[in-house]
Amino acid sequence: MSGHRVQSGPPSLSPRERQVLAHIGAGLTHHQIARRLGISVHTVDTYTRRIRAKRTAPTLADLVRLSVTQDGV
């Protein structure tokens, strides 16, 4: 199986997804996150959707919980 990578566990988050998740965990709104990172609110929404797709986090509380756990980031 050379050339094939077997991924165990959930897909990893990108550096930007980790940044957005950290800001969500700190209690910032999507508007505040967008301003701090110099991106649009729509882009923050996109990163949030990607995080939710990669991890089981259907609610804001789940995202916050994920942001404070070692395996979430």
Q: Tens digit of pLDDT for each residue in 5-30?
A: 666 777 899 999 999 999 999 999 99
Percent of the chain residues past pLDDT 70, beyond the cut: 85
pTM given for the model: 0.80
Neighbouring C-beta atoms of residue 16, cutoff 10 Å: 14
Q: What is the mean pLDDT of the chain?
A: 88
Residue 56 has pLDDT above 70, yes or no: yes
Q: Answer yes or no: are the C-beta atoms of 56 and 62 closer than 8 Å.
A: yes
Report the phi/psi class of residue 18: left, alpha or beta, with left for phi > 0 and alpha for psi in -120 to 50: alpha
